[in-house]
Amino acid sequence: MQYTDLYINGEWRPSADGKRFDVMNPADEKVLASVASATVDDARVALDAAAEAGALWAKRSPRERGEVLRKAFELFTSRLDEFARLITLENGKARGDAMGEAVYSAEFFRWFSEEAVRAHGMVSHAPSSGARILVQYKPAGIAVLITPWNYPAAMGTRKIAPALAAGCPVIIKPASETPLTMLALMPLLEEAGVPKGLVNVLPSRNTGAIVDEMLHDPRVRVVSFTGSTEVGRTLLKNAADQVLKPAMELGGNAPLLVFEDADIDAAVQGAMLAKMRNLGEACTAANRFYVHENVADKFIAKFTEAMGGLKMGNGLEVGIDVGPLVNKSTRDKVAHFVDDAVSRGARVHLGGAMPNGKGFFYPPTVLSNVPEDAECVTDEIFGPVAAIQTFTDEDDVIRRANNTEYGLVAYVFTEDMRRGLRVSEQLEYGMVGLNRGLVSDPAAPFGGVKQSGLGREGGHEGMLEFMEAQYIATNW
């Protein structure tokens, strides 16, 4: 069964003005579904539902909230195939990536079912008086969640699970390219015991207008966004009017450093994960490769061989590693980055040419000798292209790695742990993968510094994003 209407107050309904928009399969460019497009009036109805449900949910005990989330984890885990298929259909990513996302998405329900009972406060003596300091954490209020298309399930569950654990109701605005997965999650949440009105989903092509309406409703207290830095800046400005609590997971431009003492096979394996997980359409994707001059030839040869072994095609088919990119503009942007780098003197080791035919495919591509001012170095590629440069000096490569307004994640490969930790500490990034090409873990605080964002998702911090500390001063 396909869910294509708005989900408000536990009910499926068309939009107030009856308008709909098409969702496309990027593998064959055919229309997959026609989805209701929420209006400002629909957003108001969702806010009323969230306010009513939220007041009751906040009074439920942490244990009860945790048990609903645990049930959601179990149900999700029993339907991984179903969700993986839907993710591939609307996003294009290959089945293996989609299954990885489905498992990752489900894990947020498990992790936050456990965290729900751990919003510990504190009691202490005031240092210079006889007073006591009591601190407790309370649900912040209605949370507006805005998610991107690159992880249609996980970017939603990474916000829904901690919000519900904290005691907050939510309204989700999924990306217009990929709203189907989030809609399909709603019957599962109902079955898990999520009360009506607590979680609402508003796909919409009136994105700016409905989000603006919600951010200006006095009942809303949190805006949690994952997406581009550009839209994040706009949302931060809009959130300022009501001084909302912002959580911003924004763009990245991850450097990947391979030192001359690295285990090259392990570095290639890590680089494949950091570059090709999700086809490079990830904020965590390695964007700039810096390889020590003495091992560059060896690394490039082995990495090119691994990239060349990947099979491209419709992500639903068995044996496919690389599906299509999500849409034409993303694919054309990737092609432009490659052409730009080549025109500036980059050498193509693999790929580099857009295939003919239907679907937004772009092949795994390896470039070396990429100059620092190439657009694929200064901007986020968001595709299967590795741009390799070389270095000789540790301080110089740290400076080059930090030379960006982004600060989400960096990767370091070295067999010398002393160097690994020394370099990691100097990298201006919220996360570092040290001899690992994968950092995402529901139990760890995911997030960036500088213009990659504010706040953290996952870990213990993830739930606190949806809570406010209250301090009570007292004597006894």
- Binding part of the chain for ligand NAP, among 47-55, 190-198, 231-239, 308-316 by CB under 6 A, reads 231-239
| Residue 227 touching ligand NAP (CB under 6 A) | yes
**For ligand NAP, the closer CB: 228 or 269:** 228
Smallest distance from the beta carbon of 51 to ligand NAP, in angstroms? Answer: 21
Return the number of the residue (285 or 346) whose C-beta is nearest ligand NAP. 285
* Of the residues 223, 341, 408, 432, which one makes contact with ligand NAP according to CB under 6 A: 408
End-to-end Cα, the chain, rounded Å: 60
Size of residue set near ligand NAP by CB under 6 A: 27
SS3 content of the chain, % helix, strand, coil (to 5): 40, 20, 35
Tell me whether residue 167 or residue 255 sits nearer to ligand NAP (CB atom): 255
> What is the closest distance, in whole angstroms, from the C-beta atom of residue 234 to ligand NAP in the complex?
5
Choose the binding region for ligand NAP from 8-16, 225-233, 255-263, 465-473 (rule: CB under 6 A).
225-233
Query: Catalytic site residues?
Result: 249, 283
Cβ-based neighbour number of residue 305 at 10 Å: 13
Range 369-388, binding ligand NAP (CB under 6 A): 380
CA distance 288 to 121: 42
Output the 3-class SS for 53-90: HHHHHCCCCHHHHHHHHHHHHHHHHHCHHHHHHHHHHH
For residues 282 to 321, the per-residue mask of contacts with ligand NAP, x marking binding by CB under 6 A and - elsewhere, is -x--------------------------------------
Nearer to ligand NAP, 210 or 264 (CB): 210
213 is a site residue for ligand NAP (CB under 6 A): no
- Select from 121, 208, 345, 371 the one that contacts ligand NAP (CB under 6 A): 208
> Which of 160/262 has CB closer to ligand NAP?
160
Computed over its alpha carbons, how large is the radius of gyration of the chain?
Answer: 23
Q: Compute the least distance from the CB of residue 173 to ligand NAP, in Å.
A: 5
Q: In terms of DSSP H, where are the helices of 327-415?
A: 328-343, 375-378, 394-402
Q: Convert residues 144-183 into a mask of x (bound to ligand NAP by CB under 6 A) and - (unbound).
A: --xxxxx----x-----------------x-xx-------
* Nearest partner of 172 among 209, 210, 141, judged by Cα: 210
> In terms of Cα–Cα distance, which of 156, 143, 144, 160 is closest to 194?
160
Q: Which residues contact 129 (CB under 8 A, 6 or more apart)?
A: none
Residue 105 C-beta: closest distance to ligand NAP, Å = 13
| Nearest residue relative to ligand NAP (C-beta) | 227
- Cβ closer to ligand NAP: 380 or 465? 380
Comparing CB distances to ligand NAP, the nearer of 88 and 226 is: 226
Helices 80-91 + 62-78 axis angle, to 10: 70
Burial 311-333 (b: 16+ CB within 10 A, else e): ebbbbbeeebbbbbbbbeebbeb
Give the up-direction half-sphere exposure of residue 46: CA atoms within 13 A in the CB hemisphere: 34
Query: Which residue, 147 or 368, has its beta carbon nearer to ligand NAP?
Result: 147
CB of 180 within 8 A of CB of 4?
yes
Among 453, 455, 458, 462, binds ligand NAP (CB under 6 A): 453
Measure the CA–CA gap between 254 and 289, rounded to whole angstroms. Answer: 9
Please report how close the Cβ of residue 127 comes to ligand NAP at its closest, in angstroms.
Answer: 38
Tokens of 148: 């991107």
Which tokens go with 16?
């107030």
Q: Which of residues 433-452 bind ligand NAP (CB under 6 A)?
A: 448
Binding of residue 226 to ligand NAP (CB under 6 A): yes
Q: Decide: 377 and 371 in contact? Cβ < 8 Å.
A: yes
Helix ranges restricted to H, 200-263: 207-215, 229-240
Please, what is the angle between helix 154-166 and helix 180-192, to 10°?
30
Minimum separation from the CB atom of position 238 to ligand NAP (A): 8
The answer to whether 249 contacts ligand NAP (rule: CB under 6 A) is yes
> Which member of 9, 234, 327, 402 binds ligand NAP (CB under 6 A)?
234
Residues that bind ligand NAP (CB under 6 A): 146-150, 155, 173, 175-176, 207-208, 211, 226-228, 231, 234-235, 249-252, 283, 380, 408, 448, 453
